[in-house]
Structure 1
C-alpha cells in the first residue's frame, strides 16, 4: 500500500513537469500572411503657423514703414534748447533724472533704457537731477530713442485664444497712476494692450497736490500735468473741477473711453504708411466705425480755449514772451506761490487741454466743461 502511494506521488510530479514544458516551450508554426497597411494619418498643424501670422517679413516691413511716421520715432519736442534753429528730440531729456515723487524720472519715458527699467523694477537706475557727465543713461545718440524693444519683449502667454494676444508687450496689466496711486487705469482684458500707452501718457502731478494748507495754490513755471494728460482726460478725471459747476463724461463714461481704447483708435488699419498702424495716428476709416457721418471737427473747442487764454493773459496769470533770438512768441506762466484757487484752477485746466494735444477730442464733453467753467469762474471772480 505504501508502495502504491509513492508511485502515485511520483507520477503526479512527473506529469507536472511535462505540462510546464508544453506551455512554456511551444513548437512554432509557419509564418502568417502580412497584414494590410493602415491609412496614413492627417498631417498636424505646423507648430510655427500661428507665430508666422505676425512674425513674417511682410508684417515686419509694414510695422517699420508706418513707425517712421510716428511721434515716437521723430521725437520732436518743438523746443530749440540750444537757440540754433533746431528743435531737440524727446531723448534730449534722457540724461536727466528729475524725480518729483521718488520713482518717476524724465528718463523713464524719454529713453528706452529708462522705460525698461521703470516697468521692470519700478524705478530708474539713478535719482536726483544729473547730467550724463555725472552718470546715468547715455546722452541722445540715436540709441535711446523709442524702438521696438522699448515696448516689446516676450509673450507672457502663447494661449492667444483664451488669454488674448499680448503682442509681447512689456506692460499689459492695469496701470496705477504715478501722480495718484489711488487711481488705476484698467481698459479691460480686450483692450489690455492700451495699458502700455498709459504707462507714459499720464500726468506727473495733480492739481490737488499743489493746493496749500490755506487754500491757495503753489504755481510754478512748470505748473500743470506735463505732456501726459491723455490718459486722465480720456478717463474724465484730474481736471481742476470747481465747486458749483457740472462736469460730464467723468470716471470712464466718455464714448471714446467706454467704447474704444488707445490702440483701437490710434492703431487702426490703413492702406498707407502715414496713418494708422504704428504711426499712432487715427485714420478716417477708424473714426467712421462709430462716426457714420464723418470724423468730427477738432475745432469744436478752439473758440473757448482761445477765450480762456485771453482771460489768463488779461488777468496776469500768463504772459507772452518774445524770444530775442528767434522772434517767436511763447506763453509763460507767471509764478505765484500763493495764487487764489479759481485762477489757479483755470490755469490748470488750460494747461491740461494744451498738454493733451488732442484739442479735447479724447473726451469732448469733459474738456468743454473744464474750459467753459473756467471762463465763467474767472469772469465771476
Structure 2
C-alpha cells in the first residue's frame, strides 16, 4: 500500500514538472543555431545540352573498340619495336629514347650532365637542380601517355571550332637542339593546330657535332659524325644541311610541298589501307598520297635524283672517308675516334655531313626532293673538284 502511494506521488510530481517546462519562458542554450537568414536570389537556369552529342565525342575516341585499333597499329611501329629505347637509361639519350625522359623533357624537369658530370641546360633553358643525375634506372619505350597527357586533358572541348588536340603534351613550336636560336613550327593548312610539332621533339638533329663551316680543315673524331638519327623535321624544312656552294640552287626554307601542303601527321597517320600502315604505325599510306597526287598508284621508294646518293657514297668510300656501311673512318682506316681522327678540308667534311643527313632522314629524298637534290649534287661536285 505504501509503495502504491509512493508511485502515485512520483507521477504527480513528474507531471507538474512537465507542465512547468512547457509554460516557462524560452531560454537559449549556448551553441544553438540562430534564426535562418533570408533566402538568396535564384540563379539563371543553364541551357540544356543536345542529348548524346557531348558524350559521343568522348566515346568516339575513348571507347575500347577505337583504342584497340590504335594499340594494334602502335605495336607495329618503330616506337614500340626495335631499338628505339635501347639507350634510354643514358642521361643524354633519355629525352627521346625513354618514355619517362621524354615526359620530363616536356615538363621542364629534364636534366642531364656532360662528359665531365657538369649540369647542362635543356632546350627550354631551365636551371638544372641536380648535378648528380646521370641517367634513368630503367628505359621504357614511348607509350600512349608519353605523347598524350591524360592527366592534363584537352586544351579545348569545342572540337568543331577549336579542333581536336588529342591531349598531346606539346603542340607548340620547338627550339632545335643543334641551334636553339632556330625555332621550327609544323603548322600548316593540313595541320592547323601544329600536332606535328610533337614529332619535332625527337625527329631533329642532336647537337653532338656542329655543322662544318668556315675555311681550312675539319678534324672528325667519331665514326658517328653527322646529325644523330633524326633530321626528318629539318630536312622537311630545308635547313641544317651543309649548303655547299655549287651549280644547283637551294630551295627557300619551308617551301617544300610536303611542308606547306602536308605535315608529319597528315602523311604518316592517314587512314589505313589494311591495318599495317597509317594511324599509329606511322607508315605513309597511298590513301593519303592520292589526296594530292591523284594519279599515283603506289608510294614511290625514292625521288629521281636519289641515284646520286649512291654516287656520293662511292666517292666517300673511294677517298677512305667512310666504310661501305657508312661509318666515318679515321686516318688508319679504322673507325674515326679521338686517337684516330679524320682530318679533311671543310667542303669534304660538309659532303660527309650531307651524306649522313640524307642517310639518317630515311625518306630517300621524299621529304624534300629539291633540297635533297641540291645537297647531293653540290656535295659530289665538292669531292670531284
TM-score (ref. length: structure 2): 0.73
Displacement, 1:159? 2.4
**Match in the other structure for 1:369:** 374
Distance 1:251 1:288, change over 3 A: same
**Secondary structure, counterpart of 1:91 in structure 2:** coil
CA distance in 2, matches of 1:368, 1:302: 7
1:96 equivalenced with 2:87 (yes/no):
no
**Match in the other structure for 2:261:** 259
**Secondary structure, counterpart of 2:254 in structure 1:** coil
**Secondary structure, counterpart of 2:295 in structure 1:** coil
Match of 2:113 among 127, 142, 149: 127
**Match in the other structure for 2:346:** 341
CA RMSD of aligned residues (A): 2.5
Q: 5+ residue gaps in structure 2? A: 1-46, 118-132, 331-335
Displacement, 1:69? 1.0
**Secondary structure, counterpart of 2:61 in structure 1:** coil
CA distance in 1, matches of 2:110, 2:138: 19
**Match in the other structure for 1:310:** 314
**Secondary structure, counterpart of 1:319 in structure 2:** coil
CA distance in 2, matches of 1:312, 1:293: 38
CA distance in 2, matches of 1:196, 1:67: 16
Contact 2:204–2:232 (Cα < 8 Å) also in 1: yes
Q: Once the two structures are superposed, what CA deviation does each residue of 1:114-172 show, in whole Å capped at 9, x if it has no partner?
A: 00001111633x42469xxx8631234xxx11110110002222222332211010011
Displacement, 1:204? 0.9
**Match in the other structure for 2:359:** 354
Match of 1:291 among 290, 293, 298: 293
Contact 2:186–2:196 (Cα < 8 Å) also in 1: yes
**Secondary structure, counterpart of 2:101 in structure 1:** helix
CA distance in 2, matches of 1:51, 1:175: 29
**Match in the other structure for 2:197:** 195
After TM superposition, the runs of 4+ consecutive aligned structure 1 residues lying more than 6 A away are none
Contact 1:180–1:206 (Cα < 8 Å) also in 2: no
1:177 equivalenced with 2:176 (yes/no):
yes
**Match in the other structure for 2:75:** 68
**Match in the other structure for 2:98:** 111
Displacement, 1:58? 1.7
1:229 equivalenced with 2:228 (yes/no):
no
Distance 1:135 1:332, change over 3 A: closer
**Secondary structure, counterpart of 2:323 in structure 1:** strand
CA distance in 2, matches of 1:309, 1:271: 35
**Match in the other structure for 1:50:** 57
Distance 1:113 1:237, change over 3 A: same
Q: Once the two structures are superposed, what CA deviation does each residue of 1:215-241 show, in whole Å capped at 9, x if it has no partner?
A: 432423221111111001000011111
